[in-house]
Amino acid sequence: MSDDAVTPDPAAPLSGAVVPLPDAAATPPGRAAPVALSPGWDGDDRPPIPRRAGEKESLVAYLEHYRRTLEMKTEGLTAEQLSMRSVPPSTMSLHGLLRHLAGVERWWFQLNFRGEDVPMLYYTDEEPDLDFEFPAADDPADAVAAWHRECEVSRRIVDEASLDDLGSPVVPGEDFTLRWLLLRMIAEYAQHCGHADLLRERIDGRTGA
């Protein structure tokens, strides 16, 4: 053995082994929070999402958080600003997002989960993109009202169901649970809240998580 050889320490972890976290008692007290945190939205009135709640309560709280986030991003703007498109060739606008998500609420909770015979919103086979490609005279206030109505119907459906209740999709496919649907809707809103962030900043420069 050469003089440079190192004798392995039997107490040292093997390469790739999981090193246990230090005992809580060994963690230095007074951990400092970072100074630079993401700025919040001025006037944010969203209730805190519970961190120790049951499964259904947690899923519903996250969905409501994103619903309210979308609504906050549309407040305090004129009809013209709400209808302002993003960047060509995109037709996306805050007005369009409200129409789109009103249609999504109805599509998933009423048509797919409950199997109700109701018409789709902002859609025809001839014009499938009416959510974002709305008439110039369309009033954003009507879209806000429609979105609120659809959300209220969705809430009643969720209140009356259990997470394991099944829905049958309109488009042929596998049945799904309410649990899956709530996760699906959280993802839908999270995606579009990101769009709303960019749209709002472009309109008046306002930002905040």
List the pLDDT tens digit at each of the 209 positions of the chain: 444 444 444 444 444 444 444 454 554 567 888 888 889 999 999 999 999 999 999 999 999 999 999 999 999 999 999 999 998 899 999 999 999 999 999 999 999 999 999 999 999 999 999 999 999 999 999 999 999 999 999 999 999 999 999 998 999 889 999 999 999 999 999 999 999 999 999 999 999 99
192-207 residues labelled b (16+ CB within 10 A) or e (exposed): bbebbbebbeebeeee
- The per-residue pLDDT for 25 is 52
Is residue 28 reached through a cis peptide bond, with omega within 30 degrees of 0 on the bond before it? no
- The per-residue pLDDT for 19 is 42
- The per-residue pLDDT for 49 is 97
Domains assigned to the chain: 62-204 (1.20.120.450)
- Amino acid (one-letter) located at 34: P
Rounded Cα–Cα distance for residues 70 and 93 (Å): 12
Q: What does pTM read for this prediction?
A: 0.84
Rounded Cα–Cα distance for residues 161 and 57 (Å): 13
Chain centroid, CA 17 distance in Å:
37
The answer to whether residues 147 and 102 touch, using CB atoms and an 8 Å cutoff, is: yes
